[in-house]
Structure 1
Amino acid sequence: MIIDLTGKTALVTGSSEGIGFAIAQGLAQAGATVVVNGRSEAKVAEAVARIGGAARGRAIDLGTAEGAAALVAAEPAFDIVVNNLGIFQPSDFFETDDDVWDRHWAINVMSGVRLARAYLPGMAARGWGRMLFLGSESAFNIPADMIHYGVSKTADVSLARGLAKRMAGTGVTVNSILPGPTLSEGVAAMLKDAVAAGKTLEEAGADFVKAHRPSSIIQRPARVEEVANMAVYIASPLASATTGAALRVDGGVIDFIV
């Protein structure tokens, strides 16, 4: 199987590090011209330098309507859009105020809504396109300590499914990807105390999965590259018959067979 994205342009939101960076790097390695996005000029520039080639950066806050408009004005068309931008914040439901809910909704959901509204019509007019949403296993296994996050990820999966139906017959596919626990920088920060106590990051990650995601079949976090591999395939012409799907890269955490 050879994935060739030569001539395709791709946007990966929230891609200066973590899963987003791995996806951007994977798309670039497959031949796509990739736009890296983040809020920090320095981090975006560093990510672009690491990817090399034809990659370029856009340091824009896509958690706002103004940021989305600025990006679309600067980059009016893409063949591939990966809505990876997202945040998570453990917080008990009864201590989670409206500001936290609003922030998760704006960043995790509305950023993708705005970019879909902006870029899908152009993809349809050209007869080809790929739009991906990074959901989470938390979209189905709603975490009791992050209900607000789980709800936002369920919305992403629903959004992708609805948009796939809306784009039927256009040559454009829309899918969501559901990572499980993944060794991104954010997860590494969450595990810093265990690492400081003498464990390796991989050991700390495996302990976390066994304690908090005991249904995991692989019994460890995924690597960011393992999630990116799925995204690169789904973004390619080879995945032309896959649309409206919620594709799991969760290590078997979600305990059903559909």
Structure 2
Amino acid sequence: MKREDGGGGQQTGLIQDGEVRRGLIIAQPWIGKILRGEKNWEMRSSQTSVRGPVALIEKGTGTITGIATIQDSIGPLSFEEIFDNEDKHRVGPEIYTRDDYKWNHAWILGQVTSLAKPIRYRHKSGAVIWVELDDLARKELKCQLTNTESASLKRPPASAAVARQSVTPQIDQSVPFARDGSWFCQKACSRNGYYTVGEKGAEKRFPDYRSALDYLRKMPTAKWRRPNPKGNWGIVSAVRWGSPD
């Protein structure tokens, strides 16, 4: 199998300031198989020089449903190599034996993570394979991944959790969600180190996320400022409360 560097060297810099900035569009059923861990070769008609973490976008939905790392690009693969590695790409012989089959390059994926909540993004006209993620999508993706990592690091062993169950008070982890699906996110809603919440004309700024969230809980209808997909900050109102997980 031939490994490729993309001709002009590998593209890096997909993550800036901890944010994944690029998304790969994948159709069903392939993206579902990737997220379920059933395949790690994404078959394409040409090589890629991209390496590192990318968002996984389900074609036609306008949403990010996972994240993965592109580890390598190999090809063009012979018929025998495609046949021998069917367990990696999960493309059936009824497809790759056709005369017009042209997807003979494998983009090898690793560290696949399925998102607990799909994230909407702004799809630019003409984008077919790659999408540059808008500011809000990047921030919400970063927030969700950060929350997942933090929960994993902070989660105590099962025995310790059981031992403290009777004495540990329940903490309300719910956050307000706006009509567009965004929520009061600790990362995305911080502007210059402050969270701005409250009614327009009587807004309050908090340097601490928990204090701002407590203030929102006391409002008849929670309202806060957050950036829209164009990066402009505006006030949104809660339509429900729930867990971002």
TM score, norm. by length of structure 1: 0.24
Say which one has the larger Rg: 2
Q: Which structure features the higher share of strand residues?
A: 2
